[in-house]
Amino acid sequence: MTTTHTEDGYRDRDRKGYEIDTDPGRLDIGLVHHWLSTDAFWALGRSRDTVERSIRGSLNFGVYGPDGAQVAYARVVTDRATFAWLCDVYVAPEHRGRGFGGRLATAVRDHLAPYKLKRTMLATLDAHELYAKVGFTPVPDPEGLMILSSTP
């Protein structure tokens, strides 16, 4: 593996030629929108405009195959000082089961480590084991968390 980490970016290439990169210019936004709006249960129906705005306001991680085609995506909302939220982790169905979800979570953890954030959070319904392998744990004090949701 070859990993390059700077304040502005992260790039990691494995021996099979798959690459994780934070360069937003490489993202296939149309594909990311398709994945999220049609196959990700938490984002079904999300508009293209919303996806574009979320990408602009976030630190984005794309996974690209040896041919350069995007095969997975993750997004981090962060101030790079105190807090980060890992979200929209998605691996294309034909590439699932190859460890890309874990590699994405590891890349996020490693890229954020130099910032010494107080807290990096995520929400998952079905991937607790995957994220635990990277160091995520259940919230120790969930009674302290609150949410402000938009009304329909």
| Per-residue pLDDT tens over the stretch 9-57 | 788 788 899 999 999 999 999 999 999 999 999 999 999 999 999 999 9
The percentage of residues in the chain with a pLDDT greater than 70, rounded to a whole number, is 93
- Name beta bridge partners: 13: 2, 19
Q: Tell me, what amino acid is at 9?
A: G
pLDDT at 151 over 80: no
User: What distance in Å separates the CA atoms of residue 3 and residue 40, rounded to the nearest whole number?
Assistant: 29
pLDDT at 152 over 70: no
- Record the pTM: 0.91
pLDDT at 144 over 70: yes
Q: Phi/psi at 64 (nearest 5 deg)? A: -125, 135
DSSP per-residue letters across 113-152: GGG--SEEEE--SS-HHHHHTTT----S-GGG----PPP-
In tens, the pLDDT along 67-77 reads 999 999 999 99
Q: Tell me, what amino acid is at 23?
A: D
